[in-house]
Structure 1
Amino acid sequence: MFGALTGLTTPPGTDFGEQVLNAVASQSIRHLFTRCDAVDVVVRCFPSSKILQGSIDSFKMQGRGLVIRKDFQVEEMTFETDAVAIDFRSVLSGTIRLKHPTQAVAQVTLSEAAINQAFDAELVKKRLQNLTLPELTDLSGGEPVTFREVHLELLPDNQARIFAKTNLPNTADVPISLIVSLGIERRRRIVFQNPRFDPAPVPEPLQSLSQTLTMAFAQVLDNMVDLDRFDLDGVTLRLNRLETQGKKLLFSGYAQIEHFPGSG
């Protein structure tokens, strides 16, 4: 029954009580996401009799192919706790209730393709539309500016190349091109640091105009990505470091777990 509930194969030797916890935890965590290809949960407790007192040695979750809020894809997310105290009676009713909030070591992997798909999400596009930017008043004639067709390429050494387009009253499809360093601020904001205009893909007659627009666009990006806007039910992510690896962006940090989804 529990194998069908989780869609996973229970490792040989896993105690029945751990199987129950694995099953309930898997179902709870799936509710965090709009979609998930796989969620693996491993709960460890030795001796297993400690589960009856609500004492768990460790809890580990690994999810793949996750979608948050319909549009934001995460290639992989893992978190692992140390000892956790739960109300075992809640498990018997199909939920997991923590006796105390806990922290877990967390890792998140995003693909370059998923990042670019996120730029097409309505939540993101709205933050790039109809912007009144004082530094562009002379160029735009005071009209709002919209940035569109954003495309990001991950580079080595935690850098990224970003392209976009915008329209001005007298010039359509002005290209924007920059290279930035990716960083973390206050453990929750992804920042785009040290923006540099990249003139290579910009036609020479437009380079001066594009450079001004590029620097303004970099400031808009730098204020966009705040993890608090993507908090999961009962789980708050905080980041310590990031790293670009080929076409992937890796984050490591911790998850503050207040409660399991649906447990209150």
Structure 2
Amino acid sequence: MFGGLTGLTDSKGTDWGEKMLNTVASQTIRHLFTQSESVEVLVRCHPSSKLLQGSIDSFKMNGSGLVIRRDFAVEEMSFETDAVAIDFGAVLGGKLNLKQPTQAIAQVILSETGINQAFKAELVKKRLVNLSVPALTALSGGQPVSFTDVQVQLLPGNRLHLAAKADLNNGELIPLSMTLTVAVERRRRISFKDPKIELDAVPEAQREISQTLSMALAEILDNMVDLDRFDLDGVKMRLNRLETEGKKLIFSGYAEIERIPHSS
């Protein structure tokens, strides 16, 4: 059986062991996502006999149209490892298990549409609604304040425009508008810095409170996006850089993979 797995090749020269491993890996990775349009995995192992010892040369994954935790859309995700040790016995059972932790270079591309959808996710909304922070409730007569209708537009130069409304829970909605710079901090946080408040479209009677609430929202966002909160079990993402490109936000970094999780 093992000889058949590591000695046979198809018409394209693909080793049957590699082919089986690619199939198992594709199924495993696909199950990490709530939804996926495509997930392609390419595992290389030469000579093929190394597979019996669980040693492979590289592991590449490219995915598109991905959804993480039901609400977070990723337009594209890719990662590639160097040599890695796996449990070959688990592969025969249809699972992919690492013998030791590994790292992979990674790239994640978010679309402007996907970012706006994320602001509607419960995990995000609960950090923006019914806030009883004294600095905010002082503006609303002691009532909780909510930030709603958040809309993001990506801009060149790692900047974005953000529009929202502040609900003071007293029947008054305050329009908010600003541009911010997005950057990576400590390889795991997305910072929202240098807010430039825009008041031209805000009624004059609301401009002062709009300024104050916009600064408060910018501070909330700056402390909200920590990748450790979104890690898959056994996988930690670390970022080196990000850039805006048209309607896309592109992250480059690496993944610390302790084990391959089997569900999202």
TM > 0.5: yes
Q: How many residues were matched structurally? A: 254
| Aligned partner of residue 176 in structure 1, secondary structure | strand
Counterpart code for 1:203: P
Q: Which residue matches 2:167?
A: 167
Partner deviation per Cα, 1:145-189 (whole Å, 9 max, x = no partner): 111000011000000110110123666121011111001122111
Kept in 1, the 8 Å contact 2:144–2:168? The answer is no
Structure 1 residues 11, 162: CA separation in 2 closer, same or farther (over 3 Å shift)? farther
Counterpart code for 1:142: G
Q: Which residue matches 1:61?
A: 61
Question: Taking every aligned residue pair, what percent have the same amino acid on both sides?
Answer: 64
Instruction: Choose between structure 1 and 2: higher strand proportion.
Output: 1
Kept in 2, the 8 Å contact 1:141–1:169? The answer is no
| Aligned partner of residue 37 in structure 2, secondary structure | strand
Q: Which residue matches 2:197?
A: 197
* CA–CA separation in structure 2 for the residues paired with 1:151 and 1:58: 40
Kept in 1, the 8 Å contact 2:146–2:168? The answer is no
Q: Which residue matches 1:121?
A: 121
Structure 1 residues 68, 170: CA separation in 2 closer, same or farther (over 3 Å shift)? closer
Structure 1 residues 11, 36: CA separation in 2 closer, same or farther (over 3 Å shift)? farther
Select between 254-263 and 220-229 the one with higher mean Cα deviation. 254-263
Select between 118-127 and 242-251 the one with higher mean Cα deviation. 118-127
Q: Which residue matches 2:223?
A: 223
TM-score, structure 2 normalization: 0.92
* CA–CA separation in structure 2 for the residues paired with 1:150 and 1:38: 29
Kindly state the Cα deviation for residue 90 of structure 1 after the two structures are TM-superposed.
Answer: 1.2
Q: Which residue matches 1:15?
A: 15
Select between 180-189 and 148-157 the one with higher mean Cα deviation. 180-189
| Aligned partner of residue 104 in structure 1, secondary structure | strand
* Structure 1 residue ranges without an equivalent (≥5): 1-9
Kindly state the Cα deviation for residue 54 of structure 1 after the two structures are TM-superposed.
Answer: 1.1
* CA–CA separation in structure 1 for the residues paired with 2:54 and 2:216: 54
* CA–CA separation in structure 2 for the residues paired with 1:262 and 1:113: 28
* CA–CA separation in structure 2 for the residues paired with 1:170 and 1:27: 51
Structure 1 residues 46, 191: CA separation in 2 closer, same or farther (over 3 Å shift)? same
Kept in 1, the 8 Å contact 2:18–2:43? The answer is yes
> Given the alignment of the two structures, is residue 104 of structure 1 paired with residue 104 of structure 2, yes or no?
yes
Kept in 2, the 8 Å contact 1:53–1:88? The answer is yes
TM-score, structure 1 normalization: 0.92
| Aligned partner of residue 244 in structure 2, secondary structure | strand
Q: Which residue matches 2:6?
A: none
| Aligned partner of residue 139 in structure 1, secondary structure | coil
> Given the alignment of the two structures, is residue 237 of structure 1 paired with residue 224 of structure 2, yes or no?
no
| Aligned partner of residue 33 in structure 1, secondary structure | coil
